[in-house]
Amino acid sequence: MYNFFIEPSQIQGNQITITGSDVNHIKNVLRMRIGEEISLSNGVDGKEYRCGIECIEEDRILCTLRFIKEDGVELPSKVYLFQGLPKSDKMELIIQKAVELGVYEVIPVAAKRAVVKLDAKKAKSKRERWQTIAESAAKQSKRGIIPNIKEVMTMKEAISYAADMEVKLIPYELAEGMQGTKDIISSLKRGEPIAIFIGPEGGFEEGEIQEAKENGIVPITLGKRILRTETAGFTILAWIMYQLEE
């Protein structure tokens, strides 16, 4: 079943109106017809609104609500991915796959070893592009929300942003053995906000790791092999999904 995002204001009782670019996609690409069922999400409450297409007009599609799937598809904990800025277009892949794996928010981090340096204009343009990718991935994976891509932060700003999150983890090649990581993952509780810090190519500097540890961010290992920055986040997100989902 096809899934699309709408604004909460587009829901009026049991009537839902689809507007914008999705109208053309539904009419001319998918060639959907009156009576067919469609899945809609408002990007806020995580609920899935199952509707039947009632009327197809030039610039809008009118739907009637059939039922609401309350449980949705979201992880039971909000997971925040603090991703050190990688080279080239790796960030696009990271955002796409992180959204598919259930991340709640992605925070790009300008770590000291990050090769990419973004000025204000480039950062704004990149963020807009990244948000578009997040929305597309959310539609494809039938998410109930569109994960937000935050503005680029320094490591200090990122640590401050994560201050109130209950679980804060940072993969680090000098962290203790795998059993410690297994114990932490197995002890995760549903509903706890989780912060994951992933370094850029070359990892975080020792000073950044030390600052993270001083602020309650726990070093963990992802195994005996050194993972690329675009692989590390996927690995721990998959572990968290495995642990929390029923």
**178 and 62 in one domain?**
no
**101 and 49 in one domain?**
no
Residue where a domain stops, chosen among 49, 69, 89: 69
160 or 69, greater pLDDT: 160
CATH number of the CATH domain containing 238: 3.40.1280.10
How confident is the model over 62-90, as a mean pLDDT?
90
pLDDT per residue as tens digits for the range 157-213: 999 999 999 999 999 988 888 999 999 999 999 999 999 999 999 899 999 999 999
Which own/partner pairs from 52-58 qualify as long-range (CB within 8 Å, at least 24 positions apart)? 53/26, 56/26, 56/27, 56/32
| pLDDT confidence of residue 88 | 81
Percent of the residues in the chain that have a pLDDT greater than 70, as a whole number: 100
pLDDT per residue as tens digits for the range 11-66: 999 999 999 999 999 999 999 999 999 999 887 788 889 999 999 999 999 999 99
**124 and 65 in one domain?**
no
| pLDDT confidence of residue 103 | 97
Residue where a domain stops, chosen among 45, 69, 93: 69
pLDDT at 71 over 80: no
Domain assignment of residue 47, given as a range = 3-69
pLDDT at 70 over 80: no
| pTM > 0.75 | yes
Taken in order 142, 143, 145, 150, the sign of the CA dihedral is negative
**pLDDT band at residue 82, thresholds of 50, 70 and 90?**
very high
| pLDDT confidence of residue 205 | 93
Average pLDDT, the chain: 92
How confident is the model over 215-220, as a mean pLDDT?
96
What does the alpha-carbon distance between residue 56 and residue 36 come to, in Å, rounded to a whole number? Answer: 11
CATH number of the CATH domain containing 28: 2.40.240.20
CA angle 182, 183, 187 (to 5 degrees): 115
* Residue that the structure tokens 């998410």 belong to: 143
Helix 90-100 vs helix 229-244: angle between axes, to the nearest 10 degrees?
Answer: 10
pLDDT at 99 over 90: yes
| pLDDT confidence of residue 120 | 77
| pLDDT confidence of residue 16 | 95
Query: Alpha carbon of 46 to those of 32, 72, 75, 144, 145: distances in Å?
Result: 24, 6, 10, 4, 6
> How many structural domains are present in the chain?
2
